Amino acid sequence: MTLPGETSRPSDTRRPGDTGPARDRGPAGGTSLAAWARDLALGARFAVTGGRSGLLRTLLTATGVGFGVALLLVASSLPNMLFQREVRESVRAVDGSEQVTSPRPDSFLHLGRTTVYRDDVISGLLLRPEGDAPPVPPGASAFPAVGEMLVSPALRELLDSPEGALLRERLPYQVAGTIGQAGLIGPAELRYVAHADFLDTENLDGRGTRYGWSVPEEPLNAFLLLLVVVACVVLLLPVLVFVATAVRFGGEQRDRRLAALRLVGADIAMTRRVAAGESLAGALLGLLTGLGLFAVARQFAGAFTIWDVNAYPSDVVPMPVLAALALVAVPVASVVVTLFALRGVAIEPLGVVRTSTPRRRRLWWRLLLLAAGVALLVPLMGEVQVTGTSIDTVGVAAGTTLVLIGLTTLLPWLVEACVKRLNTGPVSWQLAVRRLQLSSGTAARAVSGIVVAATGAIALQMLFQAMENDFTQLTGEDSSRAQIAIGADAGTAAEARGMIDRFERTKGVSGVIGIVESHVWRPGPLKEGEEFAPRASIRVGDCASLGEFATLPSCVDGDVFVFLAHGAQGNPDDSWVTRTARPGATVALRDPYPHPSEPQRPEGAPLPQWRIPATARVVDSRPDPTGMYEYGILATPSAIDAARLDEPDAQAMVRLDPAVPDAADHVRNTAEAIDPTSWVRTLKDTERDAAYSSVRTGILVGSTLTMLLVAASLLVTTLEQLRERKRLLSSLVALGTRRSTLSWSVLWQTAVPIVLGLVLAVAGGLGLGVVLLNLGGQPVADWWTFLPVVGIGLALIAAVTLLSMPALWRLMRADGLRTE
């Protein structure tokens, strides 16, 4: 018997198809480039001409590799995709670098508007040209006329649909055109640019003359970069594992073909190269498939919005290094993996013998990889500053990769060590365990993708949790007291009151905290050192509304309170407030010393005044539903005639009836109708940092796809195993084996390696997480972050088993026993 690694005898050097005596052309088993090329080509030919099953195997491999390559290209496109969104945002923004103080022929007033419709964010830009040559907004062919707006294709579609009915009420402009790609950050973006003639210098964001900020150059924060690096490693390794799994599909069919080759004179080295050629053909076909899938997916990038990310095909461009790596690594990996897999196989002329007692797996080199990874990461501990932007990318990536690869290589050893000890149990368990004992490598390889993904996901989750405090700010808003806050300019107090009434009458509103807000000033001459008269705010509203701003011991109509913030949130000292607002003090209802740019009081006109009742109580401020500590005067309607107040604003905080659909949108419509420049804010308890959100989004998209790929890999491996055991399954059924027994066997066979993989992933993920957190000197915030990942793993077991069942039951039919 010729054993693996043995040199071939001269008689082995004959090529299949040779009929005459061996000619002098060098040994067929030689290692020259020509011999390699010749044998790889022969294998490639077998891959496509090896009959139906050969072709099926090649197609399976190509499909597997194709999906892997496509995912790899998509993953490597994510950074550019997110960057291009920022670039697009900058390009269309009004350039604020130049201060334009007076109207010019090319100047325009602008106001950015953002509104929420159901769960979608709609951004808007209101413009009013001041001259006859305003620049055309990016993506538009002309400046919209008064009362007209340009809309993105997605917004146009929404407005034209029945679902957009409520939104049409909110945007009172005539649709005059479509915004092109240059003015949008993604094809699904909901955006409008309108010509609003009500814009003036009082209610604008600014005055501009051109569009386009410089392209963002600020690098990602070091911690975010760390996350991206780890995420890429986590995403890419399972793809390579999948490639390695895919090239092994249909091994038994191939074995028979190789034995036939040996029979006609091929030597061991040649048969291995032929086998590698078969895999190479599948891998190359897979590479083409992957490129094709990526090209198609790229075209449809705009059709999908995942976690608010949506991109133009032109923005989905892989990182050149990764793309090149995929083009080279996939074919090379297919050849190397095949040669590696055939190490323990003796291909003999009468058949292929897998070494009956597989070589015991060594632990030391697997631990060495792990240790090397940790050794690379440990010196970096404490080096990453949360606020910094530099990071030893190579060190972190190499360390993380080595740790992940170390854990992956540890899995086959762990599976082997564990299943060796499993013995007793029902028949289904015995069948599964025995199969794993005989060949745990296949299952472990498939599952190793899970180990990488799960380990990485756990480590990333730990990073996220720890960074929660840094990046997730508590807004201070209390959405249990009110869900929407609105502020609008009102000409008079009556108008302000009218606005509040309109909110109260709006469909879906269950309560309104409504106040009319203005200011009062200290009358009399300015004191030494004062440049303007001290002032305090005054809020007029019913007792319930006033109670949202201060802790009131009791309140009836006619009461007045002076409320103090005690300097909270950077508010002025109480002594500054009480210069103006104190019980019994007389206050001016107009600014005694208005700024020269503001309307002046007619000469000799009396200054309207009001006396704060001496019975007014001094109370403590409390955070209002928007989280702000205010200060000044709170007055009930009978205490002061609000009509006397100066330039009052209406402020409303609205409670919604959860039973009314679209209640929030009805409120937003009311606000827009009252004042198109009003501000509307949905109150949220927390708010995420934008950069943090986009990285998290990218990682979520990637890890979801990776998990799906791992599931697909496991499923294909299981189906392949079942297909190769068709005859055996049929004969087991003939023996009277219950379907349930075989079904359970498949479940155990899937579950044992996955559970072991998850145990390894949890241990490894927590360890890696601790090390990565230590890079930035961060403590562990939550040790239980692995639970969702374990949940996903268990769901994978169930999914793969369930999806295998139809094939299992089909293969258990008696057809498998037919030989003719």
Q: Give contact residues for other proteins (rule: CB under 8 A).
A: 353-354, 356, 424, 426-427, 430-431, 434-435, 437-439, 727-728, 731-738, 741, 814, 817-820
Report which of 431, 333, 357, 245 is spatially closest to residue 808, judged by C-alpha positions: 431
Structure tokens at 696: 């998290």
Nearer to other proteins, 379 or 426 (CB): 426
Q: What stretches of 55-186 adopt beta strand conformation (E)?
A: 108-117, 120-129, 148-151, 174-178
Nearer to other proteins, 37 or 817 (CB): 817
User: Checking DSSP bridges between strand 609-611 and strand 586-588, what pairing results, if any?
Assistant: antiparallel
Nearer to other proteins, 210 or 727 (CB): 727
Single-letter amino acid, residue 449: G
CB 54 within 8 A of CB 279: no
CB of 256 to other proteins, least distance (A): 14
Nearer to other proteins, 391 or 733 (CB): 733
**Measured distance CA(221)–CA(386) in Å, rounded:** 7
**Measured distance CA(678)–CA(420) in Å, rounded:** 71
CB of 438 to other proteins, least distance (A): 5
Nearer to other proteins, 695 or 733 (CB): 733
CB of 357 to other proteins, least distance (A): 9
**Measured distance CA(651)–CA(513) in Å, rounded:** 8
Q: Please provide residue 595's backbone torsions phi and psi, each rounded to the nearest 5 degrees.
A: -65, 145
Structure tokens at 528: 């030494």
Nearer to other proteins, 348 or 489 (CB): 348
CB 80 within 8 A of CB 318: yes
**Measured distance CA(601)–CA(521) in Å, rounded:** 15
Nearer to other proteins, 357 or 597 (CB): 357
736: alpha, beta or left? (left if phi > 0; alpha if psi -120 to 50): left
CB of 446 to other proteins, least distance (A): 17
CB 552 within 8 A of CB 619: yes
Strand partners, 112: 125
E strand or H helix that includes residue 289:
helix 268-299
CB of 429 to other proteins, least distance (A): 11
Nearer to other proteins, 97 or 356 (CB): 356
Q: Which residues contact 530 (CB under 8 A, 6 or more apart)?
A: none
CB of 366 to other proteins, least distance (A): 25
Whole-angstrom Cα Rg for the chain: 36
810: alpha, beta or left? (left if phi > 0; alpha if psi -120 to 50): alpha
Strand partners, 538: 518, 633
Nearer to other proteins, 210 or 434 (CB): 434
Structure tokens at 817: 């026993």
CB of 89 to other proteins, least distance (A): 59
- How many C-beta atoms lie closer than 10 Å to residue 685's C-beta? 12
Nearer to other proteins, 13 or 749 (CB): 749
CB of 729 to other proteins, least distance (A): 10
Residue 120, SS3? strand
Nearer to other proteins, 354 or 566 (CB): 354
CB of 434 to other proteins, least distance (A): 4
CB of 727 to other proteins, least distance (A): 6
CB of 420 to other proteins, least distance (A): 13
